[in-house]
């Protein structure tokens, strides 16, 4: 694969821009033997094996990924939208190559897998793999998502049981049930859901006469939000991470 095409596929600009970066000496490639020095190429048509390639563009390390799979610790006061209405977009937390990765059609860059409300924090997945987004979003796959819920009124066993048995939301006569539900403390509920309706957690708690004061998603499938990933930070998903999500 030509070096300019590798950079283009990773979101570093048009092929012409990528060729310019290479020709101006802004691109260095890590050799397979890490004991060797970085290799600088100035020919944009240089053929390289893309798989496993690591390189630097203007001093920034970048690993080649055919498809991008990320986790983000979403902070409060951000919107999961490319065109936010009130609060900053989560996409401003990502480096520009992830926002500019080429895709077929009008969509560009990585996209959030589902959405979290502007005041909800926690684990958010992003990818440019449309099949992965569909698989994760499909109600047929029932991927469990765990939420840490801070509630206004003290919890009791009746509320927990109602959430497990199923509550009726105003727009759907079919009861919505929690896959798991645990009162961690009087005002802390750990809730596991396998579907994602609009404002679902907030409406489920309202249905049992309580109110959500704080909402944090801590886990998707078997993938937990790492304790060392601070709000606003992101990282690549490993093969083990992807396997844990699929369960």
Dihedral sign for Cα 40, 44, 45, 50, please: positive
* DSSP codes joined into one string, 168-186: EETTEEEEE--SEEEEEET
Q: What are all long-range contacts of 196-205, with beta carbons under 8 Å and residues at least 24 apart?
A: 196/114, 196/137, 196/145, 197/169, 197/172, 199/117, 200/169, 200/176, 201/147, 201/149, 203/169, 203/170, 204/163, 204/167, 204/169, 204/176, 204/178, 205/149, 205/151
Distance CA 203, CA 232 (A): 27
Phi and psi at residue 135, to the nearest 5°: -65, -40
- Bridge partners of residue 150, in order along the sequence: 188, 214
117 among known catalytic residues: yes
Beta strands at 121-127 and 212-220: parallel, antiparallel or unpaired = parallel
Choice among 5, 61, 117, 170 that is catalytic: 117
| Residues that are catalytic | 117
């Amino acid at each position: 694969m030509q070096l300019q095409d590798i950079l283009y596929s990773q979101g570093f600009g048009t092929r012409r821009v990528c060729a310019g970066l290479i020709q101006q000496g802004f691109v260095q490639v890590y050799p397979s033997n890490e004991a060797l020095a970085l290799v600088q190429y100035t020919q944009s048509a240089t053929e390289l094996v893309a798989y496993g390639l690591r390189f630097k563009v203007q001093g920034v390390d970048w690993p080649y990924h055919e498809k991008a799979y990320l986790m983000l610790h979403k902070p409060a006061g951000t919107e999961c939208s490319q065109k936010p209405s009130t609060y900053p977009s989560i996409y401003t937390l990502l480096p520009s190559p992830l926002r500019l990765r080429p895709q077929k059609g009008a969509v560009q860059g990585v996209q959030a897998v589902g959405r979290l409300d502007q005041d909800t924090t926690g684990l958010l997945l992003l990818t440019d793999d449309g099949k992965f987004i569909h698989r994760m979003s499909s109600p047929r796959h029932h991927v469990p998502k765990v939420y840490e819920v801070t509630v206004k009124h003290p919890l009791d066993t009746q509320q927990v049981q109602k959430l497990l048995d199923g509550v009726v939301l105003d727009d759907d006569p079919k009861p919505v049930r929690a896959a798991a539900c645990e009162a961690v403390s009087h005002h802390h509920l750990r809730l596991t859901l396998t579907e994602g309706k609009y404002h679902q957690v907030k409406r489920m708690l309202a249905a049992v006469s309580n109110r959500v004061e704080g909402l944090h998603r801590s886990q998707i499938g078997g993938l937990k939000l790492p304790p060392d990933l601070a709000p606003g930070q992101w990282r690549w998903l490993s093969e083990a991470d992807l396997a844990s999500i699929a369960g």
